[in-house]
């Protein structure tokens, strides 16, 4: 917990040591458990990291960085370490809230990927199992929350990481989302993480390209082949992609890749359309007027409201239960 507190604040052992008037080696020994933590040092670390003393007495293992991030190919470790720490802390908090409200474990369908049972086929089966109607998904967030999946949104302090998913120790699936995402990227990230939850929650062999599998799942979930094929029949151009973005609530570039995957583009045609994206400088940031509205999760807020109404806890008491300050609690959960 000492390491988690430090990393979540983006601090190095050297920075902590300097403020405590000791050495980096001593901080390393504290974090490894080689030294007992004196009351004086605990007071100092709590003050420096802005966590209450109770934070450091929490029990639980830290889940390391894993395959379930949706991120750019290259992300600096100085960015990932604080983010991983924050996600672990949020995971502990989701466990505490779920236990307090006696939320039962959530059963998520699990599918084995094979040559016959492809990620796309799995998306089709899940749509049928969850009674998702044909065509564009009105709100993927509502579908996920209806199935008991918590969506925890906060600022990742980077644009290079979109999301991550995991299961809490008490069986609650959580998708962590970067609050800086635009609506189209938010929806694809949610679908991508759902793919991880249903296909990769068990043991996965090291040679599987799980990120590619999650992408294939997300594409079929958001743009079902049977439903979207007619939209590609009259050719692929930027104006057509712009119109389809409004309908399917995914990015123009995602629609382009989907059309390519379904055989509607020659390599030359794809190259030409991508050149137009680059010439218009819309490959990273598509036109503002085409922005997809952000979906707003409500389940976590409802859980917190239940703590106030059913358990008769005020904001300060909930913050204390979650081992954070009242100010941080208000900032994170807008209460």
Read off the pLDDT of residues 282-314 as tens digits, 9 standing for 90 and up: 998 999 999 999 999 999 999 999 999 999 999
Residue 162 phi, psi dihedral angles, 5° rounding: -100, -45
Lowest mean pLDDT among 71-75, 80-84, 120-124, 183-187: 71-75
Q: What is the arithmetic mean of pLDDT over 130-140?
A: 97
pLDDT at 67 over 70: no
Query: What is the Cα 262 distance to its own chain's centre?
Result: 28
Span 35-61, pLDDT tens digits: 888 899 899 999 999 999 999 999 888
Give which of 144, 146, 151, 149 is closest to 106, Cα–Cα: 149
Q: Which domains does the chain have, with CATH numbers?
A: 1-57 (1.10.260.40), 119-290 (1.10.10.2910)
Q: List, for residues 244-263, the tens digit of each pLDDT value.
A: 999 999 999 999 999 999 99
Q: For residues 253 and 301, what is the distance between their CA atoms, to the nearest angstrom?
A: 33
Average pLDDT value for the chain: 94
More confident residue, 127 or 284: 127
The pTM of the full predicted model, rounded to 2 decimals, is 0.94
Torsion-angle region of 294 (φ positive above 0: left; ψ -120 to 50: alpha; else: beta): beta
Mean pLDDT of 150-177: 95
Q: Please give the pLDDT value at position 109.
A: 95
Close Cβ partners of 90 (under 8 Å, ≥ 6 residues apart)? 152, 154, 174, 176
User: Rounded CA gap, 155 and 162, in Å?
Assistant: 10
Question: Residue 206 — pLDDT band, cuts 50, 70, 90?
Answer: confident
Q: With left for phi above 0 and alpha for psi between -120 and 50, is residue 38 left, alpha or beta?
A: beta
182 pLDDT more than 70? yes
């Amino acid at each position: 917990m000492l390491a988690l507190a430090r990393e979540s604040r983006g601090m190095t052992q050297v920075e902590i040591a300097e403020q405590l008037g000791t050495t980096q080696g001593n901080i390393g020994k504290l974090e490894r458990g080689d030294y007992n933590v004196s009351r004086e040092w605990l007071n100092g670390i709590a003050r420096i990291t802005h966590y209450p003393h109770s934070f450091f007495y929490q029990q639980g293992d830290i889940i390391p960085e894993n395959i379930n991030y949706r991120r750019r190919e290259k992300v600096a470790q100085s960015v990932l370490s604080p983010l991983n720490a924050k996600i672990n802390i949020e995971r502990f908090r989701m466990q505490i809230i779920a236990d307090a409200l006696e939320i039962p474990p959530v059963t998520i369908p699990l599918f084995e990927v094979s040559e016959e049972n492809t990620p796309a086929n799995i998306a089709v089966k899940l749509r049928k199992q969850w009674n998702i109607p044909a065509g564009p998904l009105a709100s993927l967030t509502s579908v996920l929350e209806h199935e008991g999946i918590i969506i925890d949104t906060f600022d990742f302090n980077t644009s290079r990481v979109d999301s991550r998913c995991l299961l809490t120790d008490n069986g609650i699936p959580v998708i962590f989302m970067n609050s800086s995402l635009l609506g189209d990227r938010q929806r694809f990230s949610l679908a991508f993480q759902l793919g991880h939850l249903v296909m990769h929650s068990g043991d996965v062999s090291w040679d599987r390209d799980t990120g590619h599998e999650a992408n294939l799942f997300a594409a079929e979930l958001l743009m079902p082949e049977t439903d979207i094929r007619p939209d590609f029949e009259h050719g692929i151009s930027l104006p057509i992609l712009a119109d389809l973005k409004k309908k399917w609530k995914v990015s123009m570039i995602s629609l382009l890749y989907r059309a390519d995957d379904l055989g509607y583009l020659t390599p030359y045609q794809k190259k030409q359309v991508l050149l137009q994206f680059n010439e218009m400088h819309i490959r990273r940031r598509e036109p503002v007027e085409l922005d997809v509205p952000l979906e707003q999760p409500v389940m976590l807020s409802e859980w917190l409201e239940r703590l106030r109404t059913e358990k008769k806890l005020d904001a300060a008491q909930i913050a204390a239960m979650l081992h954070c300050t009242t100010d941080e609690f208000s900032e994170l959960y807008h209460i």
